Amino acid sequence: MKFGDFEISIVRECTFKLDGGAMFGVVPKTLWNKLSPADDLNRILMTCNLLLIDTGSKKVLIETGMGDRWTEKERDRFELKTLVNSSEMLKSVGVKNEEIDVVIISHLHFDHAGGATRLENGKLVPTFPNAKYYVQRGEWEFAHNANPRARASYRSDDYEPLNLNGQIVFMDGDTEVVPGIWVKLTGGHTTHHQIVYFESLDQKGVFFADLMPTKSHVTPPWVMGYDHYPLASCDQKTKWLADASAEKWLVVFDHEIGVPWGHIDLNAAGKYEFLPLSEDTLHVQARSAMVLATL
């Protein structure tokens, strides 16, 4: 899809399920279950949406998904369905792994950094061999010293090979990664969680990452039980939703199983609502994944 001078695409890397209560924190199930129905194990269906931005001079990938290095027991726990081959992760949009210049990872949890590395001949290698991976320094440090509550969300095999290969760029706060694409530190979900803001010509957009993982999370107080600092998440959501709705930005959700991009509107009742773009704005692989998720 054209976005100013950029070309942007959604690649659906996988579908998976997580506990609905954890995804909505203190929000009662009687409310969130209407928007994100749970299965008999209380899990809700989600996906990993990767955003590819081709600026014309750089190919920038936002997030890497869960990857394919999971045991059958783990796949069953998450009902994980991998939708791409890690050696050709972006094949559906006609891009080779070797063509990616920049990878931005919002934080190092396994469902965002899991696809950053892959197994090749029994050895862990960077999935995107010619890319620089942009990570907040504080997130990296926390991942290596996570407390017991947070530790299970981090897998060192997802990111250590990147550092050993000299491919990580550490950032300290808000940074313009390439012209027209910035990371913005939000905290909330993790101390150094970041979202991605981008603009070209007169268009503006934001990839919310886990500040707002799905369209069901646009109400500011609806924050995840997974968030390390839920009150900070609420405050940041309020700020970014106000800007996105006022200026009609394109917004992108990382775990939305439906159409994951569109616009935010502030309705007459003073509540935010998501207005998705047409399914036709998604490429074939992303639309097919939506169908698969309903089967």
What would the pLDDT profile of 192-229 be if each residue is shown by its tens digit?
A: 999 999 999 999 999 999 999 999 999 999 999 999 99
**Count: domains in the chain:** 1
State pLDDT tens for residues 68-89: 999 999 999 999 999 999 999 9
End-to-end CA distance of the chain: give it in Å, rounded: 27
Radius of gyration in angstroms for the set of CA atoms belonging to the chain, rounded to a whole number: 18
User: Residue 295: pLDDT band by 50, 70, 90 thresholds?
Assistant: low
CATH number of the domain where residue 263 is located:
3.60.15.10
State pLDDT tens for residues 29-81: 999 999 999 999 999 999 999 999 999 999 999 999 999 999 999 999 999 99
Domain that holds residue 199: 2-293
State pLDDT tens for residues 101-130: 999 999 999 999 999 999 999 999 999 999
User: Residue 283: pLDDT band by 50, 70, 90 thresholds?
Assistant: confident
pTM over 0.75: yes
- Please give the Cα distance from 206 to 249 (Å, whole number): 7
- Please give the Cα distance from 203 to 199 (Å, whole number): 5
